[in-house]
Homo-oligomer: A and B are copies of this chain.
Amino acid sequence: MSANSDRARLLITCPEKPGIISAVTSVLTDHHANIVKFDQHTTDPQDGVFFMRIEFELDDYEGSYEKLTEDIHVITEEYPMDWHLSSKKKRKRMAIFVSKMDHCLMELIWRWRSNELPVDIPMVISNHADLKDEVESHGIPYHHIPITKETKGQAEQQALELLEGKVDFIVLARYMQILSPNFVSQFPDQIINIHHSFLPAFVGANPYARAFNRGVKLIGATAHFVTNDLDEGPIIHQDVKQVDHRYTVEDLKTSGRHVERSVLAQAVSWQLEDRITVHGNKTIVFT
């Protein structure tokens, strides 16, 4: 492979229509692309929605880019599809929002440092100053934007200005503020939250105390996209851990933290590799 070669991913959503796979792969073949991974899903083979993710290698990705996108565009006349093309060489940019708890933040930073998460982190934004030194010690800018009931709109505006043109998606790593509809609308399907329970169990606040009171034998976490329906956004990933009567609320929180960080890190990893497509209130995740 030449130095200009790159690996790219093509994500497609389209009303189901026979022939779409061969139409798209023919374009890639014409460009001498080498398909490395191929996944597809359909909600209904007759008249559902079709989803496709193709990962391919191209010798001169940059040089071919314009013509390739033109050729894909031609197909859209017959197949009215949404499509998104991205390359591995161009790192995504992720902002992290955090409050005081650092476990999810540290997991993301640790995986970023060890190159497990090939991403740029242009900034961390927090409504508290607690984690400033820790974050800055890794060379990541930390913006402390305090929030009170009165200043919420203004604080969000400040955050939006910082983010403007700088990030591709946002991760709420135990950020204990509810984002306004205005803010959320600026990043559709681009804000990943970690919910500290396995939704829809224990929607809302204090899930660990409520899990303790209910006497459940499982605790878990859910990574989901943020929409304006609180805790109702499309679920990306979930996992649980068995617990028993000996667990105090504190023990549940401790165990929960480990589930939270692995679930969130996994969701972010999939986001970086364009593996997630949102369809209505669900996700298709091509793992």
- A residues sitting closer than 8 Å to B (CB atoms) are 1, 16, 18-19, 21-22, 25-26, 28-29, 32-42, 45-46, 57, 102-103, 106, 110, 114, 116, 137, 198-202, 214-218, 220, 234-240, 242, 244-246, 254, 258, 262, 281-285, 287
Contacts and interface: CB of A to CB of B under 8 A. Distances in A.
Nearest to A233: B215
A258 B269 CA distance: 14
Nearest to A269: B254
A196 to B, nearest CB: 15
Judged by DSSP, the binding face of A is: mixed
Contact of A40 (B37, B239, B240, B281): B37
A137 to B, nearest CB: 7
B216 A200 contact: yes
B46 A32 contact: no
Contacts of A110: 103, 106, 110
Contacts of A242: 238-239
B281 A244 contact: no
Tally of this chain's copies: 4
Contacts of A200: 201-202, 214, 216
A56 to B, nearest CB: 8
Nearest to A28: B22
A244 B287 contact: yes
B238 A216 contact: yes
Contacts of A41: 245-246
A215 B234 contact: yes
Contacts of A32: 18
Nearest to A223: B217
A244 to B, nearest CB: 6
Given A201-B200, A235-B214, A18 B34 contact: yes
Given A21-B25, A41-B246, 9 more contacts: A21-B35, A21-B38, A22-B29, A38-B38, A198-B240, A217-B236, A245-B284, A245-B285, A258-B262
A245 to B, nearest CB: 4
21 contacts: A16-B34, A19-B29, A21-B21, A21-B29, A22-B22, A25-B25, A26-B26, A38-B38, A38-B39, A41-B246, A45-B57, A103-B110, A198-B201, A199-B214, A200-B202, A201-B201, A214-B235, A215-B281, A215-B282, A218-B240, A245-B283
